[in-house]
Amino acid sequence: MTEFLTSVIRGLGTGSIYTLLGLGFVIIFKSTQVVNFAQPSLMILGAYFTSYFAVTMDLPFALALPAAIIVSAFIGAAVERVALRPMVGEPVFAAAMVTIGVFFALQVVAADLIGLQPRQVGAPWGFGSSAIGGVVFLHRDLAVFVFAAVIVTALVLFFKYSRTGLAMRATAFDQETALAQGIKVGYVFGLSWAIAGGLAAVAGTFVGIGVGVEAGTSFLALKALPAIILGGLDSIPGAVIGGLVIGLAEALTKTYQPDLFPWAGANFDQAVPYIVMLIVLLVRPYGLFGTPEIERV
């Protein structure tokens, strides 16, 4: 039982990172209908700036992380204004292709900034761990779970009670109607990218705790795609549940697969998120909480 609980806590920590990344994908998709493939590069840039402020400038982590969030949010908004705003009215597929180009451009920038050696992010938790009743948990996993819970709560309150949040919800529901009601749709687009950039910075920082960040770390963010496919591309609750489920599936597979299915080979847990994604696409393409698309002919 202690082994099971240890794996569950580990999975919730990893799943919280997927949740933060998935929320960035979902917020942009809800407002613009575009899948943002540049989210992984925003993540690695956010982690770099946390490292820059905390390690290079020697700021306390409590100040370095918010500063990195602000910078990443600005980068996200700038990307939307420069690369995506001109694509309004163009096919969604073309806009998605633009985000792939943005991904590679930002990836080159991140690789130049980071250099050849991994950069530490200066977080106080590192790989420290504690044990209660034989159940071992990393401080990092507990921290990211708490951070994710606070951020999700804040986002829910923002979308439910703030005027800007209501404007974003209206835009997600129907852009033309929102525009007719006087909502600045372009501002909503930029804000959604800024929020996604800030979320990516938090996720990237926690990814880099203990192991450091390097340019290739950005590919880990692709595991958020199975999470949002499972939960639904346009569902914030789906991103939360999908992220946690994918994290748990990966952690439990890593713990039990070597004994139960050794023939599957080493590192099979890394393939589990994508296997789940394929199954969901075959059985329920719009995910657990996504909006089914109905086409009449």
pLDDT for 198 equals 92
pLDDT for 126 equals 67
Q: pLDDT-based confidence at 295, cuts 50/70/90?
A: low
- Residue of higher predicted confidence among 161 and 124: 161
pLDDT for 71 equals 94
Could you read off the pLDDT of 6-20 as tens digits, one per residue? 888 888 888 888 898
Q: What is the average per-residue pLDDT within 230-238? A: 84
pLDDT for 53 equals 92
Q: pLDDT-based confidence at 296, cuts 50/70/90?
A: low
Query: Does the pLDDT value for residue 182 go beyond 90?
Result: no
Could you read off the pLDDT of 114-128 as tens digits, one per residue? 888 888 887 777 667
CA distance to 82, 117, 172, 214, 287, per residue, from 225 (Å)? 25, 27, 20, 21, 12
Check if the beta carbon of residue 73 is closer than 8 Å to that of residue 199: no
Could you read off the pLDDT of 78-89 as tens digits, one per residue? 998 888 888 777
Q: List helix spans (H) across the chain.
A: 2-32, 39-51, 61-79, 92-114, 139-161, 163-173, 175-180, 185-208, 224-231, 236-260, 272-283
Nearest in space to 9 (alpha carbons), one of 176, 124, 130, 188: 130
- Least confident span in 55-69, 187-201, 227-241: 227-241
Query: Does the pLDDT value for residue 69 go beyond 90?
Result: yes
Could you read off the pLDDT of 187-232 as tens digits, one per residue? 888 899 999 999 999 988 888 887 788 877 777 778 788 888 888 8
Query: Does the pLDDT value for residue 30 go beyond 90?
Result: no
Q: What is the average per-residue pLDDT within 237-264? A: 86
Task: Tell me the C-alpha distance between 173 and 153, whole Å.
Answer: 21
DSSP-assigned states of every residue in 101-146: HHHHHHHHHHHHHH-SS-B----S-TT-EEEETTEEEEHHHHHHHH
Query: Does the pLDDT value for residue 238 go beyond 80?
Result: yes
pLDDT for 52 equals 92
pTM: 0.87
> Residue 112 corresponds to which tokens in the numbers above?
């130049």
Specify the DSSP class assigned to residue 83: I
pLDDT for 271 equals 86
Check if the beta carbon of residue 95 is closer than 8 Å to that of residue 193: no
pLDDT for 294 equals 58
- Residue of higher predicted confidence among 297 and 10: 10
Query: Does the pLDDT value for residue 154 go beyond 60?
Result: yes
When the pLDDT of each residue in the chain is averaged and rounded to a whole number, the result is: 85
